[in-house]
Amino acid sequence: MPMIKRRTFLTGSAIAATGGASLFSLFRTPAFAKELTVDDVLFDPDNPVLGNPEGDVTIVEFFDYQCPYCKANHPPLTEVVEADGNIRLVMKDWPIFGAPSIRAAQLALGAASLGQYEKANTALMETEGKLSDQLIEETLELAGFDLAALDQSYRDDRGKWDGLMRRNSEQASLIGLQGTPAFIIGTTLYPGSMDAAALKEAVELARS
């Protein structure tokens, strides 16, 4: 089974210049004293999956709803996934910018329990600037959500969703991420934003 290790930069590819990093063998830190496998990151059974769940390539994005780069990167990301048709997209909620980020992630994951994660994720990714509880709630209400239902849905599955966000945070630390966004495409790490061309090249590299 493939394992994840600290970044080893690729050579012989234009993508290497963007910071692509191969994730192949064991990576262990005293802080967590555990092994982290590619399956742990790409195939967490609790994480919502967008795009094609049976796709031959997985794109993982560690993101925060307050990260302006994540928001700017979201349209080209979803366009590439939709146009390709054979990509699994795993959005890893990693709320690192404070209480509003956590609140947004909780409500989006509450929507996941209702089978509407993509709708909530899309709405929150379209917000501008810093978030507040009021902006989060207004955004989701305008998208057609009942806030009380989202809150209740999150609370009903709180153990599942809090566990998922905890694992996302642990994985980010084990991989050595410094912030958002950060992508894993196939078994290669790409920290930072990626335009459509870079995303397509990374997907083709993962397939090769």
Q: How far apart are CA 175 and CA 11, in angstroms?
A: 20
User: What is the per-residue pLDDT for 8?
Assistant: 31
Are 107 and 95 in contact, with CB atoms under 8 Å apart?
Answer: no
**Position 102: which residue type?**
I
Residues 72-105, buried b or exposed e (16+ Cβ, 10 A)? Answer: ebbebbbebbeebeebbbbbbbbbbbeebbbbbb
In which residue are the tokens 């509450």 written?
Answer: 110
| Cα radius of gyration rounded to whole Å, the chain | 17
Q: How far apart are CA 169 and CA 176, in angstroms?
A: 11
User: What is the per-residue pLDDT for 37?
Assistant: 87
Are 135 and 179 in contact, with CB atoms under 8 Å apart?
Answer: no
User: What is the per-residue pLDDT for 1?
Assistant: 42
CA distances from 123 to 105, 116, 189 (A): 12, 11, 27
User: What is the per-residue pLDDT for 28?
Assistant: 39
Regions in the chain scoring below 50 on pLDDT: 1-19, 22, 24-33
Are 97 and 132 in contact, with CB atoms under 8 Å apart?
Answer: no
Q: How far apart are CA 82 and CA 104, in angstroms?
A: 24
Superfamily (CATH) of domain 8-207:
Glutaredoxin (3.40.30.10)
Backbone angles phi, psi at 93, to 5 degrees: -65, 115
Q: Read off the pLDDT of residues 110-120 as tens digits, 9 standing for 90 and up.
A: 999 999 999 99
Q: How many CB atoms lie within 10 A of CB 150?
A: 24
User: What is the per-residue pLDDT for 26?
Assistant: 31
User: What is the per-residue pLDDT for 29?
Assistant: 38
**Position 185: which residue type?**
I
